[in-house]
């Protein structure tokens, strides 16, 4: 069974994330979306809120599971019995950063491979921070996030 982990903060989940999730889910038997606690960031949504939003927007993808994790990605990958990590790439700068992590993780966990998926050009500009900025100023974010996430963002900023 091919098990992959797609890690991220997902604060909030965007249409770009959903695109990567749908594409990756077609390539593996089971995809675990790992909602990461990133100690260098102060999230807008709690871990529970992020897990719940992702679970809801991915409910129609049968081989996807959403879980929260803290600590090292390599430990979470082993815990999930996964051998693949999925990462989305928007630009060359993403690749340089992700390559460094992929190579470091492979040294620590030799059975772990990283699969890079190039972001759909339609979402190449999109990031959670862009979404949060627009939402904080009551901007139109309907093209950036699923309707449920748009609703939750409006509630957060109202």
Q: In the sheet where 64-69 sits, what is the strand order?
A: 64-69, 30-36, 3-8, 84-89, 113-118
DSSP letter for 43, please. Answer: -
User: Is 137 one of the catalytic residues?
Assistant: no
Residue 17 among known ligand-binding residues: yes
Residue 148 among known ligand-binding residues: no
User: Which of the residues 17, 50, 132, 152 is marked catalytic?
Assistant: 17
Residue 54 among known ligand-binding residues: no
Long-range contacts of 49-56 (CB under 8 A, 24+ apart): 49/152, 50/9, 50/10, 50/11, 50/12, 50/13, 53/10, 53/12, 53/13, 53/148, 53/149, 53/152, 54/10, 54/13, 56/148
User: Which of the residues 37, 41, 59, 154 is marked catalytic?
Assistant: 41
User: Is 30 one of the catalytic residues?
Assistant: no
User: Which of the residues 22, 23, 90, 106 is marked catalytic?
Assistant: 90
User: Is 90 one of the catalytic residues?
Assistant: yes
Residue 23 among known ligand-binding residues: no
User: Is 22 one of the catalytic residues?
Assistant: no
Residue 125 among known ligand-binding residues: yes
Residue 87 among known ligand-binding residues: yes
Helix (H, G, I), strand (E, B) or coil at 65: strand
Residue 153 among known ligand-binding residues: no
Token digits of residue 80: 């999930």
Residue 22 among known ligand-binding residues: no
Known binding site for substrate: residues?
9, 41, 73, 87
Known binding site: residues?
9-10, 17, 41, 73, 87-90, 98, 123-129
Known binding site for ATP: residues?
9-10, 17, 88-90, 98, 123-129
Residues with catalytic function:
17, 41, 90, 128
């Amino acid at each position: 069974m091919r098990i992959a982990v797609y890690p991220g903060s997902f604060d909030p989940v965007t249409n770009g994330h959903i695109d990567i999730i749908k594409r990756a889910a077609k390539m593996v038997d089971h995809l675990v979306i790992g909602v990461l606690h990133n100690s260098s960031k102060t999230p807008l949504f709690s871990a529970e809120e992020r897990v719940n939003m992702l679970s809801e927007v991915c409910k129609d993808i049968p081989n996807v599971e959403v879980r929260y994790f803290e600590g090292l990605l390599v430990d979470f990958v082993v815990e999930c019995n996964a051998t693949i990590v999925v990462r989305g790439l928007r630009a060359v700068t993403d690749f340089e950063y992700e390559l460094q992590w992929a190579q470091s993780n492979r040294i620590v966990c030799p059975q772990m491979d990283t699969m890079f998926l190039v972001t759909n050009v339609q979402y190449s500009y999109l990031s959670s921070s862009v979404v949060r900025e627009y939402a904080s100023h009551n901007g139109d974010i309907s093209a950036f996030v699923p309707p449920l996430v748009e609703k939750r963002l409006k509630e957060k900023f109202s």
